[in-house]
Amino acid sequence: MSQLGKKVESVPPTKKPMQINVFALLFCVVVAAMILTYILPAGEYNRVEVDGRTIVEADSFKWTESTPVNPFDMVQALHKGMVEAGGIIFFVLIIGGFFGVFSATGTIDVLIATMAKKLAKREKLLIPIMMLFFAAGGSLMGMAEEGLAYIPLLIPLALALGFDTITGMAIVLLGAAAGFTTAVMNPFTVGIAQGIAELPLFSGIGLRLILFVVVYLVSVIFVYRYAMKVKRNPALGFYGNYNREHADKLLQSKVNLTTKHKLILGAFLLNYVVLAFGVIKFEWYLSEIAALFIILTIVVGIIGKLSVDNIVKNFTSGSAALISGALIIGVSRATLVVLNQGHIVDPMLHGVSEAIRHVPGTISVIGMYGFQSVIHFILASGSGHAMLTMPIMAPLADLLDITRQTAVLSFSFADGIGNIIFPTAGTLMAGLAIAGIPWTKWAKWVLPLVIIQFVIGLIAVVIAHAINYGPF
C-alpha cells in the first residue's frame, strides 16, 4: 500500500469476505478435463496455415481412437502447461517488476495526492478526472490489484468533499474496470487473447477506443448521479470504515509533483508511444514489448535516483506480487494440455458448431458472449480466463464464420464486467474489505451499471460481427 494510503486509519472489517482458492478451483477443472477424456470420444480437424495463422478446416472433422489421460499424465500437464505458457508468464512478471520500480519512486502517490488537493474545491471535477486516470491505467496497463492501494486515499477525499465511502470506492474500482473492460492496450487480457488467436497485437484498437469512451462516460454518469444525491442528503450515503475526521488528513498532506516525478511520467507516456509505433509498424510482440519495459524500468530507476540494489529489489518484489497471477496462467493452460492429449477439444468444437451451424451468426456471437460471462464467474483471473477459453473460442469462431477479433472482444467485455460484481473477483472483495462495504450492499448498488454495461457489450459484439471486425 502507498505511504499516503497508510495515513488513513481504518477499522478491520467484522465480516471476512468470501474467498475461493483459484488454484484449487483450477485443479478441479483439470481433473474434470481428465475425466472427460474417458467419457467423450476423440476426434480431430485438419489445421492449415493461412496468411501466417493456423485455422481449422470446417469440413475436415474425423473421429479417432480414444486416448484417455491417466492421473499421472494429468499431474504432468501442470508442468507442461507452465512450459507452454512460459512466454506469457515471464512477460507478466516483467511488467510486475516494472511497476514495482515505478511505485518505489513515489510518482503515483504524489500524482494522486496532488490531483486530489487541486480538486478539493472543484468536487464536480473529481469524479470524471480521477475515474479517467484509473480508466487509462486499466485500459493501458491492466490496472486492477494495483488500484487497491489508492482506495484508502480516494475514500477520505470523497468524504472531505461531501460524498461517501461507496463514491470513493467506485472512483477507483469502476474507473479501472471501465478501462479493463474495453482494454484498448491491456497486455493481460486483449494482449494474451489476441496472441492465442494469432491476431496482430492490439489490432482492432479503433472500435475499442470508441467503446472505452462509451463505457467510461456511462460509469462516470452512474457514479456522479449517486454522489450528488449523497452530497444533497448525507443520510443516503454509506460510510463503512471511514469518517470525515480521517478525510482531513489527506488534504493536509504536504507533497509536490517535482521535476523528477514529471520526468518519470514523461518517460512512462513516451514508452507507450514507442510501444504503439513498434506494434503497428514492426509488428512487435511479447519479447519486444517486454524488452521495452525492461529499458523503461532502468530509465525510471535512474531518474528516480534509485540505487542498483533498490532497482533490483523493487523489480523482484513487483514480480513477486504477480507470481500468483502468473502461475494461474500456467495452471489454466494445463486444462488445455489435458484436453489436447485426450483429443477431445475438436469433438467439443464439432458438437457446438454442428448444433448452431444453422443459427444466424448474430445469435451465435451472443451465445459466445454469454458463455464467456459464465466462465468468468468461475475463473475471475483475466489472463487465466483468456488462457482457458481462447484456445477453444478462436477455432470455434472460424467454424461459425465469426471473426477472431469478435471472439476476443466478447471475452474482454465479459471478463471486465464480472470484475465489478462477482464475489469470486479477488480485487473487488479485497477493496470492499478495505472500505468496509458488505458485498450484498455493493452488488445491489452496482447492479444497474452491470446490466447497462452488459447490454453495451452485447450491442458491441453484434456490431462487431455485422462489420466483420478484424483484420480476421
pLDDT, one tens digit per residue, over 221-245 is 999 999 999 989 988 989 887 665 5
Decide which of 452 and 33 is more confident: 452
Element (H, E) at 50: strand 47-50
Note the pLDDT of residue 252: 62
| pLDDT for 5 beyond 60 | no
Neighbours of 132 (CB within 10 A): 15
| pLDDT for 247 beyond 60 | no
Decide which of 135 and 273 is more confident: 135
Burial of 32 (0-12, 13-18, 19+ CB in 10 A): exposed
Place of cell 486516470: 133
| Separation between Cα atoms, residue 424 and residue 417, nearest integer Å | 13
Half-sphere exposure for 349 (CA within 13 Å, toward CB)? 32
| pLDDT for 58 beyond 90 | no
Residue 450: pLDDT band (50, 70, 90) is very high
Q: Taking residues 79-105, report their average pLDDT.
A: 85
Note the pLDDT of residue 35: 96
Decide which of 153 and 44 is more confident: 44
Q: Does some domain include residue 61?
A: no
Q: Taking residues 167-178, report their average pLDDT.
A: 93
Note the pLDDT of residue 53: 63
Residue 8: pLDDT band (50, 70, 90) is very low
| pLDDT for 122 beyond 50 | yes
Range of lowest pLDDT (39-43, 73-77, 109-113, 131-135)? 109-113
Range of lowest pLDDT (136-150, 325-339, 440-454)? 136-150
Q: Does some domain include residue 168?
A: yes
Q: What is the mean pLDDT of the chain?
A: 83
| pLDDT for 6 beyond 50 | no
| pLDDT for 367 beyond 60 | yes
| pLDDT for 342 beyond 90 | yes
Note the pLDDT of residue 96: 81
Shortest CA distance to 332 belongs to which of 275, 376, 288? Answer: 376
Residues 48-72: b if buried by 16+ CB within 10 A, e if exposed = eeeeeeebbebeebeeeeeebbeee
Decide which of 221 and 322 is more confident: 221
Do 235 and 138 form a contact (C-beta atoms < 8 A)? no
Q: Taking residues 107-126, report their average pLDDT.
A: 74
Percentage of the chain beyond pLDDT 90 is 36
Q: Does some domain include residue 270?
A: yes
| Separation between Cα atoms, residue 461 and residue 369, nearest integer Å | 8
Note the pLDDT of residue 10: 41
Q: Does some domain include residue 344?
A: yes
Q: Does some domain include residue 23?
A: no
- Which DSSP letter does residue 69 get? P
Q: Which amino acid is at 67?
A: T
Total domains, the chain: 1
Note the pLDDT of residue 408: 95
Q: Taking residues 321-347, report their average pLDDT.
A: 82
Neighbours of 273 (CB within 10 A): 9
Q: Does some domain include residue 58?
A: no
| Separation between Cα atoms, residue 319 and residue 264, nearest integer Å | 20
| pLDDT for 123 beyond 70 | yes
Q: Does some domain include residue 47?
A: no
- Domain residues for the domain of 421 are 69-467
In this predicted model, what pLDDT tens digit does every residue of 389-439 receive, in sequence order?
A: 788 788 888 888 899 999 999 999 988 898 898 876 767 877 787 788 888
Residue 19: pLDDT band (50, 70, 90) is low
Shortest CA distance to 263 belongs to which of 302, 211, 224? Answer: 302
Q: Does some domain include residue 29?
A: no
Q: Taking residues 127-147, report their average pLDDT.
A: 83
Decide which of 178 and 383 is more confident: 178
| pLDDT for 444 beyond 80 | yes
